């Protein structure tokens, strides 16, 4: 593992879930632990990068030499990521900047946040919550003219490779790391992971298969793949 693989680079990483308020006491969210994003932040800092970690609500310690910004909702996370990427590009240039999207951003949020706690009515056996789509943070950053190198993640329960390659193209990513979250031994809350990484290569895709290992070990391998893309 090249310990200086990212010297001079500025890496911005989104991590964890987002929380979308329903009313003052309730929210919609998901089971993301943030572990993969925090492991990547640590590995990037070890590899010499300046690291800004934009974290949703998680119970994890901030890695050494990592600047952490806590956010709650998808829209907060988008604003923080956009700002951090703009700062990175201004500081070191687009070619030296990297955005890694590990966050499990809520796809939808309640159309309206009730100002007061929604009360349960005696006659209401059913209520309806209208949801609206959240912005796609990584696609927005990948669509910039002055863009960093962009890596996305795809957690799927089926047709993992097909969905990942579709996202790679649709979101205009430089790399995508995917894993099968239907396996109980890897992904989400687990300390281990196994991933397949794709990147555009000629008319097709390049591919690397990372065997099951700790998220720290997987993170180091992902840093190496990133460094390879930066120098290619």
Binding of ligand C5P by 99 (CB under 6 A): no
Residue selected from 105, 186, 210, 222 as contacting ligand C5P according to rule CB under 6 A: 105
Q: Is 193 a catalytic residue?
A: no
- Catalytic one among 30, 134, 179, 193? 30
Tell me the site size for ligand C5P, rule CB under 6 A.
14
Distance CA 74, CA 58 (A): 14
Binding of ligand C5P by 85 (CB under 6 A): no
* Selected range binding ligand C5P among 1-9, 84-92, 95-103, 120-128, rule: CB under 6 A: 95-103
To the question of whether residue 171 is assigned a binding role by annotation, the answer is: yes
* Selected range binding ligand C5P among 60-68, 118-126, 148-156, 179-187, rule: CB under 6 A: 148-156
* Selected range binding ligand C5P among 48-56, 119-127, 130-138, 218-226, rule: CB under 6 A: 130-138
Distance CA 63, CA 46 (A): 10
Binding of ligand C5P by 73 (CB under 6 A): no
Q: Which of residues 161-220 bind ligand C5P (CB under 6 A)?
A: 167
Binding of ligand C5P by 136 (CB under 6 A): yes
Would you list which residues are annotated within the binding site for CTP?
107, 117, 135-138, 153, 167, 171
The catalytic residue positions are: 30
Give the interface with ligand C5P as residue ranges (CB under 6 A). 14, 74, 101-103, 105, 134, 136-138, 152-154, 167
């Amino acid at each position: 593992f090249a310990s200086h693989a990212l010297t001079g680079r500025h890496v911005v990483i989104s991590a964890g879930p987002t929380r979308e308020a329903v009313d003052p006491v309730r929210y919609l969210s998901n089971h993301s632990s943030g572990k993969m994003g925090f492991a990547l932040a640590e590995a990037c800092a070890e590899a010499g990068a300046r690291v800004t970690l934009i974290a949703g609500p998680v119970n994890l310690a901030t890695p050494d030499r990592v600047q952490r910004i806590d956010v709650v909702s998808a829209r907060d996370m988008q604003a923080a990521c956009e700002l951090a990427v703009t700062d990175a590009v201004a500081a070191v240039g687009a070619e030296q900047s990297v955005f890694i999207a590990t966050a499990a951003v809520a796809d939808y949020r309640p159309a309206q946040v009730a100002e007061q706690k929604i009360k349960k009515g005696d006659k209401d056996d059913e209520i309806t919550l209208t949801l609206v789509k959240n912005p796609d943070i990584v696609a927005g950053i990948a669509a910039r003219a002055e863009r960093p190198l962009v890596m996305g993640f795809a957690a799927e329960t089926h047709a993992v490779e097909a969905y990942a390659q579709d996202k790679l193209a649709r979101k205009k990513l430089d790399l995508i790391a995917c894993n099968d979250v239907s396996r109980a031994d890897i992904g989400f809350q687990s300390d281990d992971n196994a991933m397949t990484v794709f990147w555009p290569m000629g008319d097709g895709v390049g591919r690397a298969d990372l065997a099951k290992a700790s998220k720290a070990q997987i993170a180091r391998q992902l840093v190496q793949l990133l460094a390879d893309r930066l120098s290619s």
